[in-house]
Amino acid sequence: MFGWFENPRLRGGVHAEEHKSETAELSIASGFPIPKKLYIPVQQHVGKPAEPVVKVGERILKGQLLAYSQGTISAPVHAPTSGVVADVKDFPAPHPSALPIRTVVIESDGQDEWAPLEVPDDPFELDAETICAMVGSAGVVGLGGAVFPSAVKLSLGRKSKIHTLLINAGECEPYLTCDDRLMQEKADEIVAGIRLMLRGMGAPKAMVGIEDNKPAAYQAMRDACRDYPNIVVSQVPTRYPMGWDRQMLRYLTGQEIPADGRAADIGVVVHNVATAHAVYKAICLGQPLISRVVTVSGAAVAQPRNVEVPIGTLMSEVLAFCDWDKTKMARLVMGGPMMGDALPIADVPVVKACNGILALTAAEIEEPEVQPCIRCSSCVTACPVGLLPLEMASRIKVNQLDAAVDLGLKDCISCGSCSYVCPSNIPLVHYFKFASGELVKRQQADHKSEQTKRLIDERNQRMERIRLEAEAEAQRAQEARAARLAAQQAQQAQQAQAKAEETV
């Protein structure tokens, strides 16, 4: 069921129940209606939030820039349809906290009118810098969930002398099939995006890793790459979390990323397969990233399917399109059930990071009673990182966070494999997420303390400088008074001497 395979390149992992058959055989749904209102957060990526450039009441066109990127690690956002900017306000974010985030609200006009698009005559003749610039201005980010600005990674490829572009098409999370359908239906466009990415980063070859439970997608990608021998499409075992970039890279290349390093350190850059398709649309069609394919599934959905959804659409509207029975839903999840985020409300927008919307029933999320640990070491065998989950959890229970860090807490990817295989149903990953949150709080407290100390030191230095300046000013004033007094005395002496001479 799980464990170390005979292949030493495959570490840990589990065979999770897939729940993919409900959507894997259905074409991506067309005809999704344009929402009356779209809610586009300005923070949909790693890095600084984008800064709005539109004003309330302004008419905008589809694809028009709404907010520009700030700094190197940032990405712009664009209008998913035409209409009027109704507001720029705080709106609940698609996050477990549902805390508000700055959002541009568009009231659509139903015309879906495009802004003028710039399409190059021959995209494959563009130089690397132009490709990177176009990808950046289109707001393309990693669509596998990391949402790191793609242009930055492409530029890194040239600077770091990358020799391999690895396209991650694993899609190992249960329920999710959006990448699978994208490869089946858009393989030629994905391969065009891969070729452009290779050109943009100056790498000679690409590898595509697809789990072996996606034979149709594998064949479609193989056919699309027939004329490009520098793009190798390979099957990898269906084993969660094969979609983790380090696991995929280790299996396909036999190389290991250093513990505190990145894939670029060993000459590889990893991108998601949906990102490659977004690059194709950005370069060949001139279209920014304003929509994405989302898997809508779960037993509370009567018609599970993959849908191409405009960014900013409320998840409640997407669920309604798929005949959602709200009364049956026990949990709403953005992403997959293993690493996705449980959301408290459905009236939050679809963002670039959203690859799945799952309306799960109580039967699907049934959590058996927790039992005492039987010391079976199943969690150790299942951990893809090679950690000791139970030992870390034991330290966390008694608030020994530093000891848990020493055991590798910061290397945990919160994949949930340990919890999944535990015969005692111990929620190990919950402990790790809690501890990681506590570490962040501690770091924030330490940072605040350092900032406070710095401000106090700066104030003390400022007060000391003011005191010294005041003393210097007083000294100068005293010296000036003494000089004036001496001058007056000298003048009086001269006058007295002159008067004495006149008398004589």
Residues in Cβ contact with 22 at an 8 Å cutoff, skipping those fewer than 6 apart: 175, 297, 304
The span from the CA of 184 to the CA of 274, in Å, is 12
Give bridge partners of residue 458 from the DSSP assignment: none
Residue 373 known to bind ligand:
yes
Return the structure tokens found at 43: 């923070």
Q: Is 383 annotated as a binding residue?
A: yes
In this structure, the number of other CB atoms found within 10 A of the CB of residue 202 comes to 16
C-alpha distances (whole Å) from 235 to each of 91, 167, 209, 215, 266 are 42, 12, 6, 9, 22
Buried b vs exposed e over 217-253: b needs ≥16 C-beta within 10 Å?
bbebbbebbeebeebebbebbbbbbbbbbbbbbbbbb
Rounded to 5 degrees, φ, ψ at 255 are: -100, 155
Q: Is 412 annotated as a binding residue?
A: yes
Report how far residue 273's alpha carbon sits from residue 180's, in angstroms, rounded to the nearest whole number.
9
To the question of whether residue 415 is assigned a binding role by annotation, the answer is yes
- The DSSP output letter for 29 is B
Residue 418 marked in a binding site: yes
3-state secondary structure 368-383: CCCCCCCCCCHHHHHC
Tell me which residue of 316, 344, 288 sits closest to 45, measured CA to CA: 288
Is 354 annotated for ligand binding? no
132 marked as part of a ligand binding site: no
d(CA 190, CA 41): 27
Binding residues for [4Fe-4S] cluster: 373, 376, 379, 383, 412, 415, 418, 422
Q: Give the residue numbers of the binding site.
A: 373, 376, 379, 383, 412, 415, 418, 422
